[in-house]
Amino acid sequence: MQVMKKMFKPKKLLEQVRDQIIHITIILAIGAVVSSCAVIYNIPDISDYKIFPYRVIKNSPESIFYFSKADTLHNVGKVVLINNNKLLPNVVTLDDYMEGSKTAAFIIIRNDTIIYEKYSKKYQENSIFNTFSVTKIFITTLVGIAIDEGMIKSVNESITEYIPELLKKEGFSEITIRHLLNHTSGIKFSNSRFNPFSDNARYYYGHNLRKLVLKAELDKRPGTETNYSSVNVQLLALILERATGTSVSSYLQDKIWQRIGMQNEARWSMDNKRKNSIEKGFSCLNCTAIDLAKLGRLYLNNGVWNNQQILSQKFIYEATKRDTTGGSNWNFQYNFRLGPKEYDNYYSRGLFGQLIYIYPKKNIIIIRTGEADLKYNPQFIDHILLQIIDQI
């Protein structure tokens, strides 16, 4: 019997090795699928709604809001002084900037009147674009509405109240909804834009975001440092779904899209085609440039639309104030970037310079969408925007 036991041990060992090889192969295969998607589609694009499954967000045709249009739309941005002549050497006017930077749409609105509106040759007013990280402020807005409606108690609640699966992970009970909004959760995340093996690519091209977020691990204690990443907002999307009992797309449709006069339907890209699919909450809300402006108008009007309080003024104040407590940055709050203090403006910017810009002092909204162009640096759009608002 002893001899027989010794004879069976190698077989058992071989079975264990085989099982480990199969497990590793499966993991590598999943990684290969994600990375191959990144290779096939190269880099993200404003028309990525064509490659992902999506949910339709319907508008309400009987309640469409139209901005007025000024008689002359060419007087804004006559002179634009760029701070990097090597990048766009021929830019003198806003029209020049549009062409040189591969801008698809650029709209400037003041006092509910469009004073500048230009589209490149490939696009029109009804063209839809991937808004990339501008999507995040729609999630922020929905969180605010859910709080106003009592479906979420407050931003200070632990995320484990809605995602109890994370209770077994050390430190996750300390993460609050506020931490997710401010990206101070301490969750580990590699954010390289164009690395096909980064967490960013795994989330953007992944087919099971529910599983991915539950695999999240802490890198730092919550509330100590800002790390802007997709995982924070995807967790917010899951919290919204569970708190409201409906999909994020349905909640957006009912609480925002059909209430603030959107002109067109939108499409929110999903992680897969199965019943358990979920929206890519950190990106991939696809809509027209003019409908982006409607969200800006809602914030300019302190959450009021047609005499109805869609979003509380209190939440808007919290979402756009400067607060450096709890590891937050002085120029970032609730997925909004905060401009220079003397201007008191705020905005949301996505990959390749997608933009919704809000300047309350002059009642200005600026929308910019653009194509993928690695030669274009979206950072210096900030410099141009300040010149534009100073000219108005």
- Between CA 331 and CA 382 the distance in angstroms is 13
If we measure between CA atoms, which residue out of 286, 347, 290 comes closest to residue 319?
347
What's the pLDDT score for residue 391?
A: 87
> pLDDT band at residue 76, thresholds of 50, 70 and 90?
confident
Domain with 126 in it: what CATH number?
3.40.710.10
* Pair 132, 158 in one domain: yes
What is the DSSP secondary structure assignment for residue 277, as one 8-state letter? Answer: -
Please report, rounded to a whole number, the percentage of residues in the chain having pLDDT higher than 70.
84
Whether residue 12 is found in the same domain as residue 56: no
Write down the pLDDT at residue 7: 42
Task: Please tell me whether residues 17 and 151 are part of one structural domain.
Answer: no
pLDDT in tens, 138-157: 999 999 999 999 999 999 99
Do 237 and 253 sit in the same domain of this protein?
A: yes
Q: Which of 265, 267, 255, 293 is nearest to 66 (CA)?
A: 293
pLDDT at residue 194, rounded to an integer = 60
Distance, CA of 70 to chain centre: 31
Domain co-membership, 35 together with 92: no
Asked which of 71-80, 284-293, 306-315, 342-351 is least confident by mean pLDDT, the reply is 71-80
| Mean pLDDT of the region 101-116 | 94
Which of the four pLDDT bands, split at 50, 70 and 90, describes residue 104? Answer: very high
Task: Tell me the percentage of the chain whose pLDDT exceeds 90.
Answer: 71
Cα dihedral across residues 284, 287, 293, 295: positive or negative: negative
Residues 105 and 234 in one domain: yes
Phi and psi dihedrals of 172, rounded to 5? Answer: -70, -25
What single DSSP character describes residue 345?
-
Average pLDDT rounded to a whole number, residues 84-109: 83
Distances from the Cα of 259 to the Cα of 60, 160, 237, 253, 293, angstroms: 8, 31, 21, 8, 14
The values of phi and psi at residue 333, to 5°, are: -155, 125
218 and 260 belong to one structural domain: yes
The reply to whether 166 and 133 lie within a common domain is yes
The string of DSSP letters for 288-335 reads: EHHHHHHHHHHHHTTTEETTEESS-HHHHHHHHS---GGG--TTEETT
pLDDT tens for 227-256 read 999 999 999 999 999 999 999 999 999 999
User: Domain range spanning residue 100?
Assistant: 48-391
pLDDT interval class at 34 (50, 70, 90): very low
Average pLDDT of the chain to the nearest whole number? 87
Give the per-residue pLDDT at 6.
Answer: 40
Residues 35 and 58 reside in one and the same domain: no
Asked whether residue 36 falls in the same domain as residue 64, the answer is: no
Q: In the chain, how many domains are there?
A: 2
> Does residue 69 register a pLDDT over 90?
yes
Name which residue leads in pLDDT, 8 or 94: 94
* Total-model pTM: 0.88
Is there a single domain that holds both residue 35 and residue 90?
A: no
On whether both 36 and 86 belong to a single domain, the answer is no
